[in-house]
Chains A and B, each alone.
Chain A
């Protein structure tokens, strides 16, 4: 994917996104860290089991999670694809992965995103964000670093709006 924003910095991405495999490749998977679409991931799972390391999992923004619960536990990276920047289903998917499925690996957002969405994505649990061509990672990172106060906190530490404010006024 080239560079991406990860954990508060811009890093070179060493994961390779594999959209499909030729028959030949399927017999001998490329080396390195791979992220595979759900279907391929399942198809190739025995190979990876032999290798003893699991690939990253590529899912759609609105992927049903209950049915892939067992995979979530194995995947080192889950990459959620945003098919359009106006399709916000992935925000809930990310939140659920952290909040309900206890996913602690790299949670990546990629697809048709714009820089203005970076802070929202972070607060929904995505710790790595790949932006499409034309969207500046530096600008996205700056927005992330300068994003200020919020009423809700994040999926990691949610709060109600008045949580830390009501005690200040001795009403």
Chain B
């Protein structure tokens, strides 16, 4: 993975020093609340309902064992011995004090980490495919470009005060595991006719109050021109994006207002007129970035023998077989697997992870996966390079750490925001809904039979849990001071991204789990057989039978 050089180290240390000064000015009263707000946000510091929250950047989801241990140490010293994996692959500390944040940032800087631009109206942490570098369907590794974008966007002087937040995601595979169409800019590595690398570029995606899927704006952008083109898009947005209404300030609104053709013309004009050689990446620097992400030393493995062993282990241990089927994924190298560690169970908030777990995962990663882990947009962790002959032992250990719930990609792999329990913006709590659904679908055989399904819960229209792209989405709404919940059905993420539609009137909390169960009843009754996924049944039938069963025929 990428290692800071003295240049990166200096930049981050200077930023820590600067933020220490800003915090001191704020606490001394010489920096107003109003002026401190955007400055602290650009350092990931929110003032929440119960305590300030600090969001730490995990660039494109990569963490080393050393970093995991430092995070564990920070949660013990400055927080309540746990932290939280966000839907944008970052880490959040929920119980910090403003005074101590500069100290935390200093600690983070010792392990190549920071919280720069994890919030605020600027370019946020670049996200990526959690299987980057090991996916079977990958054309090229997106991470070198993620790192280049990370550096380019860090403290960029022109784009620190944009109309609204700005998110970029990059993939190099066929399957889109990073939901690039939901980002302000989505980039997919591709090649042109002569085999040169470049990107297909999407623009104007985003969720929130007005969910929009991004539109292609360039079919092929040569890799050397990446930063010049990003600059052109950002500059058009910074000049013409709306600033009068924060709900109409994202680039998706500008793209929509101008129309994609007009927007594209403006970007291309801007690109052409400022395309000087200084903005072009040369291939040596791309190679240099790539050198940080070279493959680890894989062993040559007798695939057939390992497969036979796994088959036997699975037959003797059905729970292991279920875990293999749900929580491991194909690796591009024979004899290796990608393993998801589930942060979802009935006893925890989705994405929460304790100091002890952090440390033990650091150790698992060292023993089984070259000392690295990835965070995912589904709020789980991934070990990318596990020898298949180690899977059984890893499963045993992960089970004892409560990280082996075999529910990846199922209805209990719930993505959920902190909701009204923590967040000042929320209209309703989301964690109790998560707990209720977890309990209803606790039976693992039943869960396994239900198969692929996604469920996401957002506590308000800001849609931090991305409920619009879930097969089953739940949105908290406020009805005369009471917590109500809207159900949406039919959303999908990935290359077949699709926005869900509202099923019917919102329901009070006590009726919601029952309603979700009714949605599942229709699926089980109507699916052609157990291989037809929930989303396919839904798309085949439409929402009507679901609606009738949830609300009764009178609706």
Are B273 and A100 in contact (CB-based, < 8 A)? yes
A154 contact set on B, CB distance < 8 A? 157
- A92-B238 contact in complex given A86-B121, A160-B227, A166-B284, C-beta closer than 8 Å: yes
8 Å CB contacts to B: which residues of A12-41? none
- A162-B289 contact in complex given A88-B162, A123-B157, A124-B157, C-beta closer than 8 Å: yes
Alpha-carbon distance between A155 and B178 when the two chains are bound, in angstroms: 33
- A162-B162 contact in complex given A116-B39, A151-B154, A154-B157, C-beta closer than 8 Å: no
- A149-B14 contact in complex given A88-B159, A169-B288, C-beta closer than 8 Å: yes
User: Most chain-A CB neighbours within 10 Å: which of B39, B278, B287, B289?
Assistant: B278
What range describes how many residues of A lie at the interface? 35 or more
B9 to chain A, nearest CB (A): 10
- A148-B243 contact in complex given A160-B152, A161-B152, C-beta closer than 8 Å: no
Alpha-carbon distance between A169 and B238 when the two chains are bound, in angstroms: 36
Alpha-carbon distance between A116 and B36 when the two chains are bound, in angstroms: 10
- Tell me, yes or no, whether B367 is within 8 Å of chain A by CB: no
- 14 interchain pairs, CB-CB under 8 A: A88-B121, A88-B160, A91-B161, A92-B158, A95-B235, A151-B11, A152-B157, A157-B278, A159-B278, A162-B288, A162-B289, A165-B288, A166-B288, A166-B289
Alpha-carbon distance between A163 and B278 when the two chains are bound, in angstroms: 9
B239 contact set on A, CB distance < 8 A? 62, 89, 92-93
A105 contact set on B, CB distance < 8 A? none
A86 contact set on B, CB distance < 8 A? 38, 121, 161
8 Å CB contacts to A: which residues of B261-304? 273-274, 276, 278-282, 284-285, 287-289, 291
A27 to chain B, nearest CB (A): 37
Are B161 and A162 in contact (CB-based, < 8 A)? no
Query: For chains A and B in complex, what number of residue pairs have CB atoms within 8 angstroms?
Result: 110
B502 contact set on A, CB distance < 8 A? none
- Tell me, yes or no, whether A158 is within 8 Å of chain B by CB: yes
- Tell me, yes or no, whether A150 is within 8 Å of chain B by CB: yes
Tell me how many residues of B have a C-beta within 8 Å of chain A: 43
Alpha-carbon distance between A124 and B278 when the two chains are bound, in angstroms: 15
* Seed contacts A92-B158, A166-B285; 12 additional CB < 8 Å A-B pairs: A62-B239, A85-B38, A85-B161, A88-B159, A89-B243, A100-B274, A116-B18, A158-B278, A161-B151, A165-B7, A166-B284, A166-B289
Are B157 and A91 in contact (CB-based, < 8 A)? yes
Which residue from A99, A148, A163 sits with its C-beta under 8 Å from B10?
Answer: A148
B502 to chain A, nearest CB (A): 34
- Tell me, yes or no, whether A7 is within 8 Å of chain B by CB: no
4 nearest A-B pairs in the assembled complex, by CB-CB distance: A88-B161, A166-B288, A161-B151, A123-B157
B284 contact set on A, CB distance < 8 A? 166-167
How does the 8 Å CB contact mask read for B221-258 relative to A, with 1 for contact and 0 for none?
A: 00000010000000100111001000000000000000
- Tell me, yes or no, whether B35 is within 8 Å of chain A by CB: yes
B121 contact set on A, CB distance < 8 A? 86, 88
Which residue from B35, B148, B155 sits with its C-beta under 8 Å from A150?
Answer: B155
Are B243 and A124 in contact (CB-based, < 8 A)? no
- Tell me, yes or no, whether B97 is within 8 Å of chain A by CB: no
- Tell me, yes or no, whether B440 is within 8 Å of chain A by CB: no
Q: Name B152's closest neighbour in chain A (CB-CB).
A: A161
- Tell me, yes or no, whether A114 is within 8 Å of chain B by CB: yes
Alpha-carbon distance between A88 and B436 when the two chains are bound, in angstroms: 45
Alpha-carbon distance between A100 and B280 when the two chains are bound, in angstroms: 17
Alpha-carbon distance between A121 and B161 when the two chains are bound, in angstroms: 11
- A152-B156 contact in complex given A91-B238, A163-B285, A165-B5, C-beta closer than 8 Å: yes
B162 to chain A, nearest CB (A): 6
- Tell me, yes or no, whether B22 is within 8 Å of chain A by CB: yes
B359 to chain A, nearest CB (A): 32
Alpha-carbon distance between A61 and B46 when the two chains are bound, in angstroms: 28
A121 contact set on B, CB distance < 8 A? 157
- Tell me, yes or no, whether A76 is within 8 Å of chain B by CB: no
Are B11 and A148 in contact (CB-based, < 8 A)? yes
B276 contact set on A, CB distance < 8 A? 158
Alpha-carbon distance between A99 and B158 when the two chains are bound, in angstroms: 13
How does the 8 Å CB contact mask read for A111-133 relative to B, with 1 for contact and 0 for none?
A: 00010110111011000000000
- Tell me, yes or no, whether A171 is within 8 Å of chain B by CB: yes
Which residue from A93, A119, A123, A149 sits with its C-beta under 8 Å from B7?
Answer: A149
A157 contact set on B, CB distance < 8 A? 278
- Tell me, yes or no, whether A138 is within 8 Å of chain B by CB: no
Are B14 and A162 in contact (CB-based, < 8 A)? no
A160 contact set on B, CB distance < 8 A? 148, 152, 227, 278-282, 285
Alpha-carbon distance between A165 and B18 when the two chains are bound, in angstroms: 24
Are B22 and A95 in contact (CB-based, < 8 A)? no
B65 to chain A, nearest CB (A): 23
How does the 8 Å CB contact mask read for A62-90 relative to B, with 1 for contact and 0 for none?
A: 10000000000000000000000111110
How does the 8 Å CB contact mask read for B160-203 relative to A, with 1 for contact and 0 for none?
A: 11100000000000000000000000000000000000000000
A1 to chain B, nearest CB (A): 20
Q: Name B39's closest neighbour in chain A (CB-CB).
A: A116
Are A87 and B161 in contact (CB-based, < 8 A)? yes
Alpha-carbon distance between A76 and B202 when the two chains are bound, in angstroms: 41
Q: Name A167's closest neighbour in chain B (CB-CB).
A: B284
B296 to chain A, nearest CB (A): 16
A62 to chain B, nearest CB (A): 6
Q: Name A169's closest neighbour in chain B (CB-CB).
A: B288
- A88-B22 contact in complex given A124-B158, A149-B11, A151-B151, C-beta closer than 8 Å: no
Are B158 and A91 in contact (CB-based, < 8 A)? yes
